[in-house]
Structure 1
Amino acid sequence: MRMSNVIVVGGGAAGMMAAIAAAKCGHNVTLLEKNEKLGKKLFITGKGRCNVTNGADMDVLFQNVCTNEKFLYSAFYSFDNTQVCDLIEQAGCPLKTERGDRVFPVSDHSSDVIAALQRELHKYHVDIHLHTEVKKILTKESDDNICFYGVECTDHKKLTADACIICTGGCSYAAAGSTGDGYRFAEETGHKVTERRPALVPLEISESWCKALMGLSLKNVEIRMQCGKKTWYEGFGEMLFTHFGVSGPLILSASSFYSKNISKRKGDDEVKLFLDLKPALTPEQLDKRLLRDFEEAKNKQFKNALDHLFPAKLIPVMIELSGISPEKKVNEISREERKAFGMLIKALPMTVTGTRSFAEAIITQGGISVKDINPSTMESRLVKHLYFAGEVLDLDAMTGGFNLQIAWSTGHLAGDSIQ
C-alpha cells in the first residue's frame, strides 16, 4: 500500500481518532485545528470529567442511538467501546466504569484523556497545526469523478493532499469552535445537510410554577412526553427545575425525542410532559399511602400534612395544583379530592414550549445526510477521497457516553479506510 498524505480538519474526538487511525496505517497525517489546543469540547464534556464511552453490550449501544443507528453498524463493529478503552488506557490514561456503564478516566479529569490521545498523535508522527482555520475544500474533476485535492485556509495558504477527513463537529458549544464549518464544506461540495436542532438540551416549560421550584432536583422520578395521543418518550431518572423549565439527565434524553418529532406535530397539539413523582407505587398503592398519611394527620390542615410525601419546596405547588384549600382539615378531604390528588402525583402536567438554544445543547441533531456517505468507509459518495466523521454527520444518541462512541468509531473507520 502506498503512503498517502492525509489532512484531518478538526481536532476534537473524531478528528484526533481519525488522525491516529490514518497514521497507524502508515500515512503522512496533518491535523488542522482552528483553536489554540486540541479537544476543546472534549475538555468540557461530562462536566469536565469526560464520559469516554459506554461499556454496555453492542445491542444497548445501538438502542441508545437516536438517529440513523443502522448507518453505524460498520463503524461500531470495526472499532467498539472495548477497543476505545484499550487505546486510551494503553496511551496512559486508566479508566473506570460507573453507574449505567458510563466510562470515565480514573482521575475524573478530561484533560488526561486528551493528553493520552496527544501522546498517540505524537507517537505516530501526526503533524499538528493549531490556530489553523480551513476556509474551503478544494475539488477537481477527474475521470468523470469529482475528487478532493486540497484545502484553502483563512490565511489563503493552500495545502494539497491525497485524502481529507472532515471532523468539525456540530453547532453546539460554539465557544469550543463548533461553528458549523463542516456543514458549509459539505454543501459547497454538493452534499445534503438535514435541518439542525439542539439536542441533549434543557426544555422550556410554560407553567409559571416551575420557576418557584428553581433549583429543586428530583431523583428516581419518571416522565412521559406526549403530543396528542402519541407518546414521544418515557424515562426514569433524575431531573432539575430551572428558571425557564426543566433540565437534568432525564430531561436531556427526552429533549432529543422532542427535537426529532416536533416537525411532525399535527396542528395545535400541545407537547405535554407528565411527571410521576412516585413511580415505585401503583395508583392503588399510592392511594393506600395517602389514606395512611391522612389518617395519621387527620386533625391537621392539608398544608401541614404533606411533609412525608414531597420535598418542602414542592409542597406549596402541589397544594395549589390540587385545588384543595391549604387550610382544609385532612379529615374533611373527600374521596374524590384524594383520588384526584393521587392522579396529580402520578402525572404532574407541564407544557413544553421548546428547547433552549445551541449554546446550552450538548450535541446537534441533524447534519450531513448519511445517504451521501458510504457507511463502510465514511467516504463521501459524491467526492472521492473526502471523508466525514463525528457530530458533523446526521447521527446522535442519548447521554451516557454514546455520542463520544459515535465520534471515536466513525473517526477511526474513516482514518482506517484511506488507501
Structure 2
Amino acid sequence: MVSFLNLKENIIDHDLCTSCSLCIAACPKELLSMSDDAVPLPLFQDHISKSLDICGTCNLCSDICPGFDTETTESELRIFGRNRVEEERWVGIYRSTHQLATKNHQIIDKVAAGGAGTILAITALEENIVDAMIVVGRDEERPWIPKAYITDSIEKVIECAQSSYCITPNLELLKDPRYHRVGIIGVPCQIQGVNKLLNLPGDSNAAALAEKVVFTMELGCASNTSSAGTEHLITEILNVNLDDVVYMRYRDGAYPGKFVVRTKDGIEHSLPFYRLVEEFKKFKTFRCLSCADWWSGLADISIADGDPNIFDSSRTEKSSKPTSTIMVRTEMGERLIRLALQNDSIELFPYVFENNLGLERKRQRYRSYAENSSRKIPLPPGGDMMYSEIMSDDEVIKNGIGTENNRTSNLV
C-alpha cells in the first residue's frame, strides 16, 4: 500500500506516532498538518478515502517515520561505517564523553543544567555553521504550552534554554524556505526520523529537505508527556487557573530546579522536580512507554543532565554545580566542542559515562514491553543483554542507580 493510509494503518492506528511532524515537512504536496490535541497527530487535509488517488505512488511519509522502524542499523552504517555492538546497545557509538558547563551567565540563569545544547547552538550560529536552529520554547500567549521555533536569533535560543518534558512537534519547521542550513535540537525519535530522511537517495523528493540538515543534538529521554500532564500539574496540583498563568518553567531557579508557575497577580507557585516525575507517569503515550531508546546514538552530540539521578537530588534537596553530560559522536560534534572551547564559552570535565536513572528506567521499561506486550512496539537498535530480573518503573526509581558523580576537577 502507498499513500497516507499506510502511515495511518501501520503507525497512527497502533499508537506508534512520535508526533515529530517530519511527515508534514516532507510531504511534496503539502497534504498533511498536525492536530492541536494534547498528543498531536498527522491529519490528511482531504477526505482520507481520497489519499490513494491524491498521493499516487508517494509513500514518503511512511518511509521517514521513526514510529516503528527507526532504521538505526542503516543510519549507523552511513554515519560510522559499522553497527553498535551489544555493549553499546543503550549508548551507541561515540568518540568521547565529558561533562560540560557553559560560562555564559545569560544562559546559566535560564537553563536546567549545564546549558550544553544552548551554548553549542549559539556557537553554531556565531560561527556561521548554520543559518538557524530548531529549538523548543514556550507559547507566548499560553506559556504552559510548548512551542517549537526555527530561529537565527541568539536571544531566542537563550529564551528557549529550558528543558521541556512535553511532546512538541518540531520537524515540520525544516520546510521553512527562509533557511538552508539548519541545526536541530531534539529527542531521540526526532533524530531517528531526521536520519531516515538523510538515508534516502539523493534524487528523492526529500533531498532538498535533507540537504538543509547540518547537525543534530539530542536530549536523553526517559519518556515524554502529553500537554495534559502539564495542565494537570497547574490546575489539579497547584490549583491555578490556566488563564492566570503568565510564566512557567519545568526547572526554574537554583539547580536542580523546581516546576514554577507565576500568575498575573505576581504570585509564584512551585513544586519540587521529583513531583513532576511522579505525576507525569499518568500522561505518557504508548509510543513513549514502549520506546527502545534513551539516546538514539545518531546525533552529532548526545546530551543529558550532569547528575545521573536528578530525581533523588530533587527529593533530597541536594545541590551541586549544574553540568551537562555530553557524548560526542562525530567530527561535526568535535568541531562544535572545539569552537566553544576556543571561544572560552564552556568548561569541559573528563567523565566516564556509566548509567543514568532515566536510561535505566527506559531500559527496564522496554524490556518489560518486549517480553509482555502483545502489541506492536518499536524495533530496537540491537540485541539486549539478558536480565535476571526486570524491575518496574517504581522499583527503578526507588532503588536508583547510584548518585555519585565520577567527574574530576581537572579541565581539559
The bucket for the TM-score relative to the shorter chain is under 0.3
Where relative contact order (Cα < 8 A, 6+ residues apart) is larger, the structure is 1
TM-score scaled by length of structure 1: 0.22
Q: Which has the higher strand share?
A: 1
TM-score scaled by length of structure 2: 0.22
Q: Which has the larger radius of gyration?
A: 1
